[in-house]
Amino acid sequence: MNGSPRALAGLNYLYMLLMMLTIAAIMTAAMVMQYFGGEVPCPLCLLQRVALFGVCFGIILTFRLGDANLNSGLSLLFSIFLLVISVRQALLDIYPRPGHEYIGSAVFGIHMPVWCVLIALALLIAFAVKLTVLDGASARAIPLSDFPALARAARAAGTYVIILCAINLVSVVVQCGFDACHTSGYRLLQAMH
Amino acid sequence: MMVAIFATLFLALLAAWMGRQKIAVACLVLCLALSAGLFLFEIYSPEYGFRMPWIQTRLDGAPPSLARRS
């Protein structure tokens, strides 16, 4: 793409920041449904969260160390992982039968595994757009610190994502202990009663 | 297993945030390997294996249009 490297780098960082904020919003919504709606996540749902955090990992590395193929590659890898998990879960529950049906409430009539298929596709398209339109060798050399406002926002967003991951880690310990996860409740809380 | 996955993921994100690229990538690769293993464990059924027989992928018989032609 033609354009000044500085403008291209700024657009690229802004684009990545918007992607990370979108993922953070999705994770926040899922956690609100979990803690305030009483919906205990299934093992495959938790793995979908892992995949979304994995996408954020590549973006955080880009913010911290600059844009590189490694970062986009890792984010793409986790986007594909998200797609594989969510498609398999959607197919597992597509034909309701005892022990297999979509769990949790539907959002706008669509259940979480199906939402995750759409989110994974959106992420893959977003990375394709980034790599074709916003990628430039000269723009890559410009660090995020050249854009102070964006750098501050990226720092805040990155910190928020890491806090979300920490909350999820604690939540998984409470839900699963050090054993397999079940949707019947929080294992440690049940053990205390 | 899930705790190990989230623990390695958290360490990976933290290391990335601190600019420790090698440690971060190593933790993330470990997290991905554990996640892939758990995913395969979760979807494996002793009855069906990895197959999904509730999804019909073969025709029970020739559709009427094909039957008429032959």
Global pTM reads 0.89
B61 touching chain A per CB within 8 A: no
B62 touching chain A per CB within 8 A: no
Distance from CA of B62 to the nearest CA of A (A): 24
B33 touching chain A per CB within 8 A: no
B6 touching chain A per CB within 8 A: yes
- Residue A56: CB partners within 8 Å, gap ≥ 6? A20, A23, A24, A161, B13
Residue A74 has a pLDDT of 95
Q: How far apart are CA A192 and CA B5, in angstroms?
A: 25
B12 neighbors B27 (Cβ within 8 angstroms): yes
Binary contact (A91, B52; C-beta < 8 A)? yes
For A1, the token pair is 């793409």
* pLDDT tens digits, one per residue of B13-60: 999 999 899 999 999 999 999 999 999 999 998 888 888 888 877 766
**pLDDT tens series, chain A, 193 aa:** 456 888 888 899 999 999 999 999 999 999 999 999 888 888 999 999 999 999 999 999 999 988 888 999 999 999 999 999 999 998 888 877 776 666 777 888 888 889 999 999 999 999 999 999 887 777 777 888 889 999 999 999 999 999 999 999 999 999 888 888 877 777 777 776 6
Domain ranges of chain A: 5-192
What CA–CA distances, in Å, run from B33 to A49, A180, B36?
15, 17, 5
A169 neighbors B10 (Cβ within 8 angstroms): yes
Residue B65 has a pLDDT of 67
Residue B30 has a pLDDT of 96
Residue B62 has a pLDDT of 65
Q: How far apart are CA A46 and CA A172, in angstroms?
A: 9
Domain ranges of chain B: 1-48
Option in A50, A97, A172 nearest B54 (CB): A97
What residues of chain B lie within 8 A of the CB of A176, using their CB?
A: 2-3
Least confident among A142-146, B8-12, B31-35, B61-65: B61-65
Q: ipTM value of the model?
A: 0.89
Binary contact (A54, B7; C-beta < 8 A)? no
Residue B67 has a pLDDT of 59
What residues of chain B lie within 8 A of the CB of A166, using their CB?
A: 10
B23 touching chain A per CB within 8 A: no
Q: Is the pLDDT score of B66 beyond 80?
A: no
- Residue B68: CB partners within 8 Å, gap ≥ 6? none
Distance from CA of B53 to the nearest CA of A (A): 10
CATH of A5-192, one of 1.20.1550, 1.10.10, 1.10.1740, 1.20.1260: 1.20.1550
Binary contact (B3, A172; C-beta < 8 A)? yes
